[in-house]
Structure 1
Amino acid sequence: MKKMMYGLFFGDSITYGEYDGVFGGWVDILKRYALQKYNEGKSNELILFNLGIDGETTEGLVKRIPNEMAARNSAEGNIVFMGYGANDLAVKEDIQMVNPENFKTNILKAVQEVKKYSNDIYLVSILPFSSNVDGVVVASGKLRTNDEVLIYNQILKDIAVENSLRYIDFHSAFLQDKEILLSKDGVHPNEKGYGMMAEIAIPIIEKYL
């Protein structure tokens, strides 16, 4: 018997797919892939929900995740992805949006909520920033540094190990070629970057198809 499972992708504008006018971002590429496999009649039905919100931090995640999980809960199984940190670590007017301690607390709260519905939880790494925006105040008034990215990604890695979750390391994949894979704003991937993220993530969703 084939199953119908849900895949829920929580995150910010990088989950949403901003700056990708061709494919719509990595989650939308995965959506089309899962649908194609189902239409070929070879797989379970895996319905993917892109729940990325532009500018969101883990503060927003904690507020909305109970309702989002309750509204989209497949009795046959759920897979949950969380991609946060690029906004949390940003400094605006000398104040960090969400400091490392609170970031950790928020991710753990979200994980506890998700565990009511699923044990298939993936924490998504923060991407590196382009050298032209590393440590620079951009038009939005936010300042981000690659040093902070390492700190926040380590928090995500530690949470994954300590709670038997999975960690998707997009950061390492981008590091060497980030200037080619990031858009002009230096924060979001371009079409190439989102395509690479999807390539890395396809084998993950394949396990559920």
Structure 2
Amino acid sequence: MQQRKVYLIIASFLLAIVIGAGMIFAVSDKRATVTNAPSEVVPIEDSATESTEDILGKSEDTDTSSEIKDAFQRLFNDTIGLFIKEDLHITAIGDSLTQGVGDKTDKGGYVGILQRTFEQTEDRVKIDNFGKRGNRTDQLLKRMEDPVISASLENADVVLITIGANDIMKVTKDHFTNLDYEDYSKAMPAYEERVKEIFQKIDSLNPDAEVYLIGFYNPFEENFPELKDQLGTIIKEYNSIGEKIAQDEEQHYIETADLFQNETADLLSDDYFHPNEIGYGKVAERVLESIKPVIQEEEEDEE
């Protein structure tokens, strides 16, 4: 009975987040509904080179946090000396974490941070962002049929994915009045099949692409400690599914849970769920570090 009560609290809270986020980001969602239109795909090509100070100054227009400046500086430093592959193409697909919901600068979250960092190099890097708030695995699979998204995937060197959090939300909403851990457990096999299908669909479009599934974190650790253990277990198991599939498909998994551990109060946006600019900066750093081996041009052997 006590466990059932805990899951009812979880259900109530998650639904409150869904409703609240829907109101806060209504304008953002309207724009997101057309992300698969050609006009929404913004490649990074032939952009004017800016200094690090210019980029940092732009971020200060909306937030003067030294932590944001530090994140940009670390990312910029990480790109110095990198011989990035010519005409590198990165495609990002998934949910609100790809779209960048929670980023008050409205510059695309971790994907936007990577984009602005690559603009500092002299290499031609193209990034397509098809993140859409609320996407579940089944919805992402349908969106991958879109000609614009599939064409981008076909030409991508690197594919970045965030997906899964809304699948957990759906279980919560579907069993709101009688929620139990078993409801999440029963949904896991179907979730596993859909994630596997996402990887396989990308492989069928582009067998040469390097695919990175980005894990999700527990946003309730600090702000809502009473939900920490129960939701932490659920999130960990869903992440484990994604990690295993990535390994089975000989692709990549990027852990992010450790980045937010004991720091959610500082790294989350006002909805207590999505990252803020600083949180997205940490994700961007982790992603860049993970993809470095595949975005660098192989050095020619000296004769």
TM-score normalised over the length of structure 2:
0.58
Say if 2:103 and 2:276, in contact at 8 Å, map to a contact too. yes
In structure 1, what residue type is equivalent to 2:94?
A: G
Higher strand share: 1
* Counterparts in 2 of 1:83 and 1:135: CA distance versus 1, 3 Å: farther
Q: Does 1:30 align with 2:119?
A: no
Q: Deviations over 1:97-147 (max 9, x none)?
A: 9921121111111111111313301011012122445787xxxxxxx9222
Q: Deviations over 1:23-61 (max 9, x none)?
A: 531110011112221xxx2x3x22111111011100111
1:5 Cα deviation from its structure 2 partner: 2.7
Residue 70 (str. 1) matches residue 150 (str. 2): yes
Amino acid aligned to 2:209: N
Give the aligned residue type for 1:123.
L
| SS class of match (2:273) | coil
> Equivalences for 1:197-208 in 2 at 5 Å?
197-207=283-293, 208=295
Give 1 or 2: higher helix fraction: 2
The counterpart of 1:189, out of the listed 240, 257, 275, is: 275
State the SS of the aligned residue for 1:7: strand
- One-letter code aligned to 2:232: N
1:101 is matched with: 189
Distance 1:110 1:179 in 2: 32
How far residue 93 of structure 1 moved from its aligned partner, in angstroms, is 4.4
For the aligned residue pairs, the C-alpha RMSD in angstroms reads 2.5
Letter in 2 for 1:36: Q
Q: Report the alpha carbon displacement of residue 73 of structure 1 after superposing the two structures with TM.
A: 4.7
Q: Name which one, 1 or 2, has greater alpha-carbon Rg.
A: 2
Residue by residue over 1:118-177, the C-alpha shift from the partner in whole angstroms, topping out at 9 and shown as x without a partner, is 3301011012122445787xxxxxxx9222111100101111221211111011221131
* Structure 1: distance between partners of 2:125 and 2:145: 21
Q: Given residue 6 of structure 1, which amino acid in structure 2 is its aligned partner?
A: H
Change (3 A) 1:115 1:93: closer
- Written as runs of structure 1 = structure 2, the 5 A alignment for 1:39-188 is 41=122, 43=123, 45-67=124-146, 68-73=148-153, 77-90=156-169, 91-94=172-175, 99-116=187-204, 117=206, 118-131=208-221, 132=223, 145-188=231-274
Number of aligned positions between the proteins = 195
C-alpha separation in 2, matches of 1:166 and 1:54: 23
Q: How far did residue 64 of structure 1 move? A: 1.5
TM-score, length-normalised on structure 1?
Answer: 0.82
Task: Read off the aligned partner of 1:174 and give its amino acid letter.
Answer: F
Q: 1:159 to 1:9 in 2, by over 3 A?
A: same
Identity fraction in percent: 28
* Structure 2 unaligned residues grouped into runs of 5+: 1-84, 177-182, 297-303
Which residues of structure 1 form unaligned runs of 5+?
Answer: 137-143
In the alignment, is the contact (CA less than 8 A) between 1:89 and 1:100 conserved in 2? Answer: no
